[in-house]
Amino acid sequence: MMDETTSLLLESFDKVLHDHCSAESLHACAQGGFDAGLWSVIEELGFNTAALGEDKGGAGLRTSGLIALLRIAGRHCAPVPMAEALLLGPCLCAESGLELPPGPVAVGPVIPEEELAISPAGTGWRLSGTLRRLAWPDKASRLLVMCRSDDVYQLAAVNPADCTVKTAVNLAGETRATVVFDSVSLTAVDVAPVRPGFTPDRLLELGALARASLMVGALDAAMEQTLKYTLERKQFGRPIAKFQAVQHQMAQLACELAAAAAMVNQAAVLMERGAATEAVAAAKIRAGQAAGVGASIAHQLHGAIGFTEEFPLQHVTRRLWAWRDEYGSERYWSFKLGSAVADLGADAVWPLITQAPRNAKVQDQRNT
């Protein structure tokens, strides 16, 4: 149950995106995936700082509230980096003490195996390495990247102009670029140590949860568009929504949406209480599966028109297909979840599924 302030914020955000994310505006920024006008409105109204405390001008939303905002962003296919602005960037800054930079931010690493190296250089720092598939680095005011200095992780706020950005786009037309940090010089105020215990794996979990929430929102839009179309499209003198086969597929689509939403909401609540690796893995897996099934059903019921560039469904389904592989695919998270369960042992499976209190032995296993 959300408080009144959060509910009002969600309602306002939904209205803003409804007014700005029309089919025409989405077509206009199809390649590059960024709407500068929409971002200006979001920044002016303060939605990008919703995670910050009230003392810093934010709304102090917790993870569940931020995930709800991202679901709205996904439903409207908002062509701005909301996951990075709402959740990933503020979380990284909170874990390090750096101030959240104004404007859009890009966050990395996205791929856990990639690692940047940072070393002292005079009164400042020097950063080297390469990161791939960063979201919107060409639109960002700063790149917030985790890097390793000996056994300590640092957060560095880097000016994109100081890097080599090799821009590409994903299936949805959103910028996903390779960024090369070639001995980038940073001042002391641009770098801060990250709290012990917060690692790139933790950042990956936040990113996976954010993408899963965006997918739930996009799947919600796909169902809404498909229901509307099946009520309008007629065959043999009646709407195709009246046919039992179509009703069966719509019911399946609704079930996929409900299952994915439940998993994402549960993972967000558990993340507020601490580590939630297994819950995030399950949420990303389930959202990815729902995205595949849901997009297939939506296009099947729309027929050929759903594949045309002029029809709005493609904005939704292309994002579903793109987001399911970002911050870990279903294969990646399935392997991670399976390994974690195998390491815990058979006695821990049921408590893990039900989130019931674990006995001391199981808890000790998780802490080692």
**CATH code of 18's domain:** 2.40.110.10
CATH of the domain at 245: 1.20.140.10
**How many domains does the chain contain in total?**
2
Q: Which residue has the tokens 């077509």?
A: 27
Three-class SS of residue 106? strand
Q: If pLDDT is split at 50, 70 and 90, which confidence band does 361 have?
A: very low
- Position 331 scores a pLDDT of 96
Phi-psi region of 133 (alpha: psi -120 to 50; beta: other; left: phi over 0): left
| Residues 91, 45: Cα–Cα separation, whole Å | 20
pLDDT 10s digits, 304-332: 999 898 899 999 999 999 999 999 999 99
Three-class SS of residue 193? strand
- Position 362 scores a pLDDT of 40
Q: Are residues 142 and 23 in the same domain?
A: yes
- Position 55 scores a pLDDT of 84
Q: Which of 138, 166, 193 marks a domain boundary? A: 193
Q: Note whether residue 368 is domain-resident.
A: no
Q: Are residues 172 and 230 in the same domain?
A: no
Q: Note whether residue 284 is domain-resident.
A: yes
pLDDT 10s digits, 106-143: 999 999 889 999 999 999 999 999 999 999 999 999 99
Strand segments (E) across 237-334: 238-239
Distances (CA, A) of 62 to 3, 6, 65, 103, 191: 11, 10, 5, 21, 25
| Residues 333, 281: Cα–Cα separation, whole Å | 5
Q: Are strands 191-193 and 152-158 parallel, antiparallel or unpaired?
A: antiparallel
Structure tokens at 141: 């005011």
AA letter at 92:
L
| Residues 146, 195: Cα–Cα separation, whole Å | 12
Q: Are residues 44 and 170 in the same domain?
A: yes
- H-run or E-run covering 352: helix 349-354
Strand segments (E) across the chain: 105-108, 116-121, 124-135, 142-149, 152-158, 164-166, 176-186, 191-193, 234-235, 238-239
Q: For residue 24, report the phi and psi dihedrals to the nearest 5 degrees.
A: -65, -45
Q: Are residues 124 and 220 in the same domain?
A: no
Can you give the pTM of this predicted structure? 0.93
Q: Is the dihedral of CA 345, 346, 352, 355 positive or negative?
A: negative
pLDDT 10s digits, 47-63: 999 999 888 888 899 99
- Position 357 scores a pLDDT of 41
Contact 142, 189 (CB under 8 A): no
In DSSP terms, which residues pair with 130 in a beta bridge?
180
Q: Are residues 81 and 168 in the same domain?
A: yes
Q: Are residues 173 and 246 in the same domain?
A: no
CB atoms within 10 A of CB 153: 23
| Residues 71, 215: Cα–Cα separation, whole Å | 7
pLDDT 10s digits, 177-198: 999 999 999 999 999 999 998 9
CB atoms within 10 A of CB 67: 28
Percent of the chain beyond pLDDT 90? Answer: 81
- Position 309 scores a pLDDT of 87
| Residues 328, 111: Cα–Cα separation, whole Å | 8
Q: Are residues 100 and 245 in the same domain?
A: no
Q: Are residues 59 and 113 in the same domain?
A: yes
Q: Are residues 262 and 352 in the same domain?
A: yes
Q: Note whether residue 128 is domain-resident.
A: yes
Q: Are residues 166 and 230 in the same domain?
A: no
Q: Indicate the Cα dihedral angle 284, 30, 165, 136, nearest 10°.
A: -50
| Residues 125, 75: Cα–Cα separation, whole Å | 41
Phi-psi region of 119 (alpha: psi -120 to 50; beta: other; left: phi over 0): beta
Q: Which residues, including other chains, have CB under 8 Å from residue 229's CB and lie 6 or more apart?
A: 301, 302, 306
Domain extent at residue 267: 200-363
Structure tokens at 71: 């679901």
Q: Note whether residue 110 is domain-resident.
A: yes
Q: Which of 148, 172, 193 marks a domain boundary? A: 193
CB atoms within 10 A of CB 284: 35
For residue 1, pLDDT over 70 is answered with no
Q: Are residues 119 and 226 in the same domain?
A: no
| Residues 344, 324: Cα–Cα separation, whole Å | 27
What average pLDDT does the chain have? 92
Q: Which of 175, 193, 211 marks a domain boundary? A: 193
Q: Are residues 51 and 187 in the same domain?
A: yes
pLDDT 10s digits, 281-312: 999 999 999 999 999 999 999 999 998 988 99
Q: Note whether residue 44 is domain-resident.
A: yes
Q: Which residues, including other chains, have CB under 8 Å from residue 29's CB and lie 6 or more apart?
A: 35, 79, 173
Q: Note whether residue 157 is domain-resident.
A: yes
Alpha-carbon Rg for the chain in angstroms? 21
